[in-house]
Structure 1
Amino acid sequence: MTESSRGAAGDDAPGVARRLACFIYEGVLLFGVVFISGYLYSTLTQQRHAMQGQHGLQAFLFIVLGIYFVWFWSHGGQTVAMKAWHIRVVDNQQRPLGQWRALARYVLSWLWFLPALLSVWLLGLHGLGAIFGSLFAGVLAYAALAWLHPQRQFLHDAICGTRLITQRPVKR
């Protein structure tokens, strides 16, 4: 293990592949959160058509996901997927995140998707294959940026002053 990939307190930084695996697992878990939240929104607003109130639904889901991530990151530094992959988010001094830093990390973590979504919108793409292909390429390009950072951190972590570390379970 090189010194550049180790945390300040000696905690190992998880590899990019392990962080991407956690990212995929997080997406699977969030499917349930989004499904239940969307059902709640459509029930409360009596939405009868998928295109009716879609911007309100998107804003609602953005807030729900923000609450999910900010709460988990500021209360223990791990979401459910991060616990499964033994990854924890801390600040650069290895301290737990406060709610404001967790909120900033959540907002900036949308950098994973915004360039691809912007390109889809600017190019006027409508096919599912083109949209998912653009998102997939955008996520891979964003992940590849981590190899340019000395500690292999993602861009939003570098901007927010946060880092991911390996958090192994305590042996009894």
Structure 2
Amino acid sequence: MIESLPPAPLWRRLIAATYDGLLMLALWMVTVLIDAVLRELAGASRSWGSLQLYVFVVWLGFFGWFWTHGGQTLGMRVWRLRVLRDNGDTLNMVSAAVRYAGMLLVWGVALTPLLALTPPLRVEPHAAIASMICGGLTMAMLALMLFDRRLRAPHDWLSGSHLVLLPKPAAKSIG
């Protein structure tokens, strides 16, 4: 049955990513709040490096748990997407971690040009050009998805996984 499921189209992936992005924003706010409260109670100074690591681990826990328990985040569930290993199994924690890290790399590089152009950052011109080149390369890598039979993104290749589109659930009869 797994072989008969079609690959997830790019537009569904992006909408599901938007849903999950909103969840990540909320999770980020709660994580920063907890970090701030714990640091205040302990009298510890702020450490951006440890906060970044903390957010990374919390998000890994979020994606890792959902991908290893059913293969769907909340955004993926709404849009009937499921991530599977290339052999049809659900992801294990190692492949979920590799997929998560690859996903962060792809999205981070893809969004860098937008961040570099925001006024408060005041990025040097050569750094802005380098980030635009990186963003262009990432978009080119994502465009390669269109030539892959299973529409795999770079983080899918790295983790040996792919996204499939699940069929619509059967209509429930009344009575």
Flag whether TM exceeds 0.5 (same fold).
Answer: yes
The verdict on how the C-alpha distance between 1:169 and 1:76 changes in structure 2, with shifts beyond 3 A counting, is: farther
Structure 1 contact 74–97 (Cα < 8 Å) conserved:
yes
Q: 1: distance between equivalents of 2:73 and 2:50?
A: 26
Q: 1: distance between equivalents of 2:137 and 2:38?
A: 34
The verdict on how the C-alpha distance between 1:15 and 1:168 changes in structure 2, with shifts beyond 3 A counting, is: same
How many corresponding residue pairs? 157
Q: 1: distance between equivalents of 2:153 and 2:92?
A: 19
Instruction: Specify the alignment match of 1:143 in structure 2.
Output: 142
Structure 1 contact 82–88 (Cα < 8 Å) conserved:
yes
Counterpart of 1:56, as a letter, is: S
Question: Which of 65, 79, 82 is the aligned partner of 1:85?
Answer: 79
1:45 pairs with 2:45: no
Bigger mean CA offset, 13-22 vs 108-117: 108-117
Q: Deviations over 1:61-101 (max 9, x none)?
A: 00000000001000010011110111000011211111221
What is the TM-score of this pair, normalised by structure 1?
0.76
Counterpart of 2:150, as a letter, is: Q
Counterpart of 2:6, as a letter, is: D
Structure 2 contact 103–155 (Cα < 8 Å) conserved:
yes
Write out the 4+ residue segments of structure 1 that deviate beyond 4 Å after TM superposition: 116-121, 133-142
Structure 2: give runs of 5+ residues left out of the alignment.
none
Structure 2 contact 39–46 (Cα < 8 Å) conserved:
no
Structure having the higher Rg? 2
1:113 pairs with 2:112: no
Question: Which of 12, 15, 26 is the aligned partner of 1:18?
Answer: 12
Instruction: Specify the alignment match of 2:55 in structure 1.
Output: 61
Structure 2 contact 106–154 (Cα < 8 Å) conserved:
no
Q: Deviations over 1:148-168 (max 9, x none)?
A: 433221011012110001123
Q: 2: distance between equivalents of 1:141 and 1:29?
A: 27
1:126 pairs with 2:121: yes
Structure with greater helix share of residues: 2
Structure 2 contact 111–135 (Cα < 8 Å) conserved:
no
What is the TM-score of this pair, normalised by structure 2?
0.75
Q: 2: distance between equivalents of 1:139 and 1:37?
A: 29
Structure 1 contact 88–164 (Cα < 8 Å) conserved:
yes
1:102 pairs with 2:61: no
Q: Deviations over 1:83-134 (max 9, x none)?
A: 011100001121111122112211221221343578879xxx9249x7xx95
Q: 2: distance between equivalents of 1:20 and 1:138?
A: 18
**How much does 1:35 deviate?**
0.7
The two structures, once aligned, show a CA RMSD in angstroms of 3.2
Structure 1 contact 153–163 (Cα < 8 Å) conserved:
yes
